[in-house]
């Protein structure tokens, strides 16, 4: 996928759900994975011509595994002239050594988001952009159905009142395959997650389940996404109603 196509899909989401206003200072949570780096390229590209002026600031939370090499991401941010903050933490030690969590993902996500939000506020940002794409939207809905018994997924915009911070998700119209195509085409410097639990989660189970469903029923993921948009879920209505 070409950058121009990425920009088109990202701008569509931003325009339809009014994600960006004049003067916004937007942090981008950079994990080092393909999704967050694609979002970095997209918002950097959009910033050059979008009618509403905004600034971006990249932030990575280093969980403390000791083998996370961010040199290429640093170089990329310097090339794009995007400020980059790395937050050093002991989250890995706390979860895997001190607490020896058997199901570490939930606590890790909570601690990581706490560290990220603190860094975002310190950088003077009023919004944070997450790199959730269309597949993530559908997978989260399926996880809620299977494991919680409710029809729910995250919304395009989420206001965190405790932090006075708005989460935006500009990649909700991009498929994961689009992201993979973009990363390969532009040789984006993806950094593999050092987490030992990576790839062995409930989300991976649901991802594989959806892959099989889509093979047997082509277009099923797209129809699920349509159901989410028309299902009266909070934040998904284009006319502003919740």
pLDDT tens digit sequence for 49-70: 999 999 999 999 998 888 788 9
At 239 the pLDDT is: 66
- DSSP E strands, the chain: 24-29, 54-62, 84-88, 127-129, 157-160, 165-168
First to last CA, the chain: 33
At 92 the pLDDT is: 86
Does residue 235 sit within a domain?
Answer: no
Does residue 242 sit within a domain?
Answer: no
Does residue 237 sit within a domain?
Answer: no
Does residue 116 sit within a domain?
Answer: yes
Rg of the Cα atoms in the chain: 18
Distance CA 174, CA 149 (A): 27
Please count the structural domains in the chain: 1
Does residue 95 sit within a domain?
Answer: yes
Which of the residues in the chain have pLDDT under 50?
241-242
Retrieve residue 34's tokens.
């393909």
- For the entire predicted model, the pTM comes to 0.92
DSSP string over 196-218: TTTT-SHHHHHHHHHHHHHHHST
Strand partners, 166: 127, 159
Does residue 239 sit within a domain?
Answer: no
At 67 the pLDDT is: 79
Structural domain of 140: 3-229
CATH code, 170: 3.40.50.620
Does residue 241 sit within a domain?
Answer: no
Does residue 55 sit within a domain?
Answer: yes
């Amino acid at each position: 996928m070409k950058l121009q196509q990425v920009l088109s899909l990202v701008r569509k989401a931003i325009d339809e759900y009014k994600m960006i206003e004049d003067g916004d200072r937007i942090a981008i949570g950079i994990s080092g994975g393909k999704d967050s780096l694609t979002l970095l390229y997209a918002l950097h590209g959009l910033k050059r011509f979008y009618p509403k002026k905004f600034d971006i600031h990249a932030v990575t939370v280093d969980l403390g595994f000791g083998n996370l090499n961010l040199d290429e991401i640093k170089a990329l941010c310097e090339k794009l002239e995007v400020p980059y903050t790395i937050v050093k933490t002991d989250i890995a030690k706390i979860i895997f050594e001190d607490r020896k969590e058997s199901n570490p993902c939930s606590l890790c996500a909570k601690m990581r988001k706490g560290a990220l939000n603190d860094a975002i506020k310190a950088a003077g940002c009023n919004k944070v952009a997450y790199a959730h794409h269309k597949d993530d939207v559908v997978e989260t809905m399926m996880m809620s159905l299977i494991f919680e018994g409710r029809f729910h997924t995250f919304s395009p915009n989420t206001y965190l009142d405790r932090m006075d911070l708005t989460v935006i998700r500009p990649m909700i119209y991009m498929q994961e395959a689009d992201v993979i195509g973009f990363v390969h085409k532009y040789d984006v410097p993806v950094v593999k997650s050092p987490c030992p639990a990576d790839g062995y989660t409930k989300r991976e189970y649901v991802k594989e389940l959806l892959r099989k469903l889509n093979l047997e029923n082509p277009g099923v993921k797209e129809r699920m996404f349509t159901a989410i948009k028309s299902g009266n879920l909070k934040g998904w209505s284009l006319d502003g109603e919740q």
